[in-house]
Chains A and B, each alone.
Chain A
Amino acid sequence: MKNRVDKPALAVAAALLVMAILPLAWRNDYALSFGINLLQFSVLATAWALFSGPTRYISLATTAFYGIGAYAVAVLGEQLPWPLVLLAALALGSLVALGVGLATLRLSGVYFVIFTFGLAELVKQLVNWYEVNITKTSGRYVFLEISQQAIYWQLLVLLALALLAGWWLRRSRLGLALRVIGEDETAASHLGIDITRTKVLLFVVSAGFMTLVGAVIAPRWTYIDPAIVFNPNVSFQVLIMALLGGPGHWLGPLAGVLPLTALFEFLSVNFPNYFSVLLGATFLAIVYLVPGGVVALLERWDRRRAAALVKEVPNVSPARPPEGARTPPCSVEVSQ
């Protein structure tokens, strides 16, 4: 275990490098546009799974943070240098996530889901109210000199960072704490885990990535209004991608992003008028067809990992009686 090369991590690093070079070879805008779409969902789904994967708190607030990022750019884009705009967006998204996290992470199960769904709508309506009543506008133009290629590369950097976070989390105490919280919060707290701090921290990190995606992608829209950037479809698409791929593994969401981005693209190009209907049908199909849903995927991963561990951990027990000799099912050594 110690010196073994982490093959998936190397493969991912190589794939990211290849993806970084690809735009230089692409001659048509469509490939670049699809690449941007793919990357934006890759970051969103990976970021979603950072928090929701191990804790099993299903969040539908993705679009809230995505929209906050986009709006931050619309408001500040022409007033500050680009890196500062991104920082400001990140700060705003993180602040909202912190408040929401502290207020809601005591909710569990379906109540958390509904709250996050409501949150996205609330933020959208607040922005709407502010724009209509205070600034007297109903939308904003985003005219920034940022090329599609630059958007692509920024998203790629975000993806690399999100994957790095997921990869590191898998090995860290923090990641272990999140998994224990997902298993049993009460037990977690009695085992010395600060459950509130752990959950809020990861919720903020996850939301930070989502906010940055919204910010980076904003110049692509040229015009935004609350209905465009606070679109609940984004939350549901990200959720279904992560669930299809398997949110329990740092690479899981990507496995769902690839086929579903392609499918959504195909649907919106070929059946633009029926997109929402077909999107709904896809959701239903996935929920029905992925056997046992997410849980089965999660468990299979856990089992495989457990099986791998058996080979790695040396048997430290010095004098173990043969299997059959342990007749009383609860034989306990009282040698102390």
Chain B
Amino acid sequence: MNPLLQVDDLQKNFGGLRAVGGLSFEVAAGEVLGLLGPNGSGKTTALNLISGALARTGGSIHLDGQRIDGLAPHRIARAGVARTFQLVRVLGGMTCIENVQVGLAFRDAPSFGEASVAEAIELLRRVGLDTRAHVLAGDLTYIDQKRLELARALALEPRLLLLDEWLSGLNPSELQDGIGLIKSLRAGGLTVVLVEHVMDAVRALCDRCVVMCAGAKLAEGATATVLADPAVVDAYLGRAHA
């Protein structure tokens, strides 16, 4: 069986800077994969390449056996890849329910207008925003905007969900809620790639991890093993702490 996501020798240069160089990994259906690494190691660039926000310099990306690199972002979204952004991007001038309805309206099997209201409310309920359905998204707190962004991503009915530091900036109780929510998504069969710095969340959620450093893969494997790898600790904390 094909892996759901297959990344082969992915490369991205910005002028003379090599942001991602020869990155390869696979994600099986139903798996939660952590993409780790120090700041500037190319994690977000990798996510941007998968979602089509950036064009690759080299390599290939396959979703369920189908090549998706080189496609426009909207085609990748319709193929089943949804994402959130490191800096939230809600549609501030639209209400929460409208934000989610946008996700419903342009997915592969769209539902629009009246027909999408019930489904949108259900998605908002799932992230705990149903009581704020008619509040402008721009008026929400930062945390609520993150939750709204997740609901909107789920509205696309994705096969693969890309989360870019979705759990960062949460307080401890919010973090537990957030972890619970992602666990519930995994229980529902969703495949997730998450870029994350919050190690508690990584341990609680990720089946496997890929650690990046300077644009390349430093380590890959089961979460506990990878996090105990001296090379990984080294990359994160610097040689003096290793």
Interface residues of A (CB under 8 A from B): 1-2, 171, 173, 176-177, 179-180, 183-184, 186-187, 189-196, 298-299, 302-303, 306-307, 309-310, 313, 315-317, 320, 323, 326, 328-336
Neighbouring A residues of B67 by C-beta, 8 Å: none
Query: In the bound complex, do residue A192 and residue B94 qualify as a contact, i.e. CB atoms below 8 Å apart?
Result: no
Query: In the bound complex, do residue B177 and residue A332 qualify as a contact, i.e. CB atoms below 8 Å apart?
Result: yes
Query: In the bound complex, do residue B134 and residue A309 qualify as a contact, i.e. CB atoms below 8 Å apart?
Result: yes
| Option from B102, B108, B178, B185 in Cβ contact (under 8 Å) with A191 | B102
| Option from A176, A186, A307, A332 in Cβ contact (under 8 Å) with B105 | A176
Count of interface residues, chain B, beta-carbon cutoff 8 Å: 61
Query: In the bound complex, do residue B174 and residue A190 qualify as a contact, i.e. CB atoms below 8 Å apart?
Result: no
Neighbouring B residues of A193 by C-beta, 8 Å: 74, 106
Query: In the bound complex, do residue A189 and residue B128 qualify as a contact, i.e. CB atoms below 8 Å apart?
Result: no
Query: In the bound complex, do residue A194 and residue B72 qualify as a contact, i.e. CB atoms below 8 Å apart?
Result: yes
Q: Kindly provide the distance from the CB of B159 to the nearest chain A CB, expressed in whole angstroms.
A: 14
Query: In the bound complex, do residue B134 and residue A173 qualify as a contact, i.e. CB atoms below 8 Å apart?
Result: no
| Option from B82, B122, B147, B188 in Cβ contact (under 8 Å) with A330 | B147
Is there a chain A Cβ closer than 8 Å to B165's Cβ?
A: no
Chain B 99-115: CB-based contact to A (< 8 A → 1; otherwise 0): 00111011110101110
Neighbouring B residues of A326 by C-beta, 8 Å: 128, 131
Query: In the bound complex, do residue A184 and residue B91 qualify as a contact, i.e. CB atoms below 8 Å apart?
Result: yes
Closest B residue to A302 by beta carbon equals B93
Is there a chain A Cβ closer than 8 Å to B8's Cβ?
A: no
Neighbouring B residues of A317 by C-beta, 8 Å: 121, 125, 130-131
Chain B interface secondary structure, helix, strand, loop or mixed?
A: helix
Query: In the bound complex, do residue A191 and residue B131 qualify as a contact, i.e. CB atoms below 8 Å apart?
Result: no
In the assembled complex, the Cα of A32 lies from the Cα of B106 at a distance in Å of 46
Is there a chain A Cβ closer than 8 Å to B97's Cβ?
A: yes
Query: In the bound complex, do residue B102 and residue A332 qualify as a contact, i.e. CB atoms below 8 Å apart?
Result: no
Interface pairs (26), CB distance under 8 Å: A171-B113, A173-B106, A180-B102, A183-B92, A186-B85, A187-B85, A189-B73, A190-B51, A191-B77, A192-B77, A192-B78, A192-B107, A194-B72, A194-B74, A196-B72, A309-B95, A313-B133, A316-B117, A317-B121, A320-B130, A329-B141, A330-B174, A331-B177, A332-B147, A334-B181, A336-B184
